Amino acid sequence: MQLSTAPTVGRWRRGNPDSQGLLGVLSVCATLLQLCAGCPSECVCNSLEANCSGRSLVFVPALTSLPEGTHTLLLANNRLSSLPVSAFANLSTLETLDLSNNYLDNLPSRLFRELSNLSDLSLRNNSLTVLDRELFRGLTLLRRLDLSLNGLAAVPLGLLDELQGLTWLSLAGNRLHALERATFEPLVNLQHLELGMNPWECDCNLRDFKHWMEWLIYRGGYVDAVECTLPKDLRGRDIRGVPVEMFNYCLQLEDENGGGAGSTKSGSPPCFRGTATPSSDGAVVRTPAELPDCVKQRYRPVSVRRAIGTVVIAGVVCGIVCIMMVAAATYGCIYASLMAKYQRELKKRQPLMGDAEAEADPEEKHISSVA
């Protein structure tokens, strides 16, 4: 039996071209079958990417069947209006997620909580009007976030707290009137910020955020044009070019409204952090929405432009003082030299005056004797 099979095995090993081609075809077919078996019918998949774009999808396909190790998921240009809270479960290897050009108007809290390796998220051109402050929890590796062309009227405090590695952010083309500085302070690595095409109201509510933008630009970051729509005298102007002195009246308004220490602001209760109702275990519990403004505020460094102006003014004043001191010293030296010269001449004249008095004494004695 061994003698009869040996020649066959030898011929197989010598490399029959037909057999090698058949093996290659079978290998490719096996790979394709494996990918197709793990790819939703609405998508096109390869080893790293699942492309479900432009399929007119109304519901998210079964993503649990994606090939293992998928890094990119494209769901753009569909008709998605909502997403289930478990839509992206068990996709921890995902690094790029594109949900742009859909009809999403409400996203559940912590929708992306299991995407721990996500670095690029696009929600561009949807119908988002409100974002839950817990939406981006767990996305500690996110580097790029696109929220442009939506209907956002505000960015809630705490939304960006865990995105400390974020370097690129777009909020362009929304309905933003003002932003809180404290919302953006956690973004210590941000380098690019887009805020254009928003109806900005350049009043006291935007003053602190203006200072934060100046700080971002000062450390090398980029911020696009932030054009004012209100008030009328600032319409069309970039707030970055508006002098900070134009916001000095905000401090006066705060004082008039009782914004000083120990007073209330706009009728709100005093800022006592310990007045929240304790829970059953004795801990004080209060949601961020219930916190007064004075608790939400964080340390706010001085405006860069104001600091430069202060340095320039201080330099001018010091220069004037130095010039005055030099002038005073020069005047003192001249006055001292003139007085010294006067004293020397006075001393020279004193002996001559003494001789004249001596010559006058005999004549006075003779006259007195005759009398």
* Residues 74-103 pLDDT 10s: 999 999 999 999 999 889 999 999 999 999
Q: How confident is the model at residue 350, as a pLDDT?
A: 73
Q: What angle do CA 104, 213, 175 make, to 5 degrees?
A: 30
pLDDT reported for residue 367 = 54
Cβ-Cβ contacts under 8 Å for 300 (sequence gap 6 or more): 181, 208, 211
SS3 label, residue 229: strand
Tell me the pLDDT band of 29, cut-offs 50, 70 and 90. Answer: very low
Let me know how long the chain is. Answer: 371
Rounded Cα gap, residues 87 and 59, in angstroms: 10
Closest to 242 in 3D by CA, of 284, 281, 270, 214: 214
pLDDT confidence band for 108 (50 / 70 / 90): very high
- When pLDDT is cut at 50, 70 and 90, the band that residue 357 belongs to is low
- For residue 231, give every residue at least 6 positions away whose Cβ sits within 8 Å of its Cβ, in sequence order, or none: 201, 202, 203
Q: Is the pLDDT of residue 299 over 50?
A: no
pTM over 0.75: no
pLDDT of residue 183: 94
Mean of all residue pLDDT scores within the chain:
77
Helices 207-218 & 304-370, crossing angle to 10 degrees? 90
In the prediction, which pLDDT does 355 show? 59
Interatomic CA distance for residues 118 and 98, integer angstroms:
11
pLDDT digits (tens, 9 = 90+) for 223-254: 998 899 988 888 888 888 887 766 766 766 66
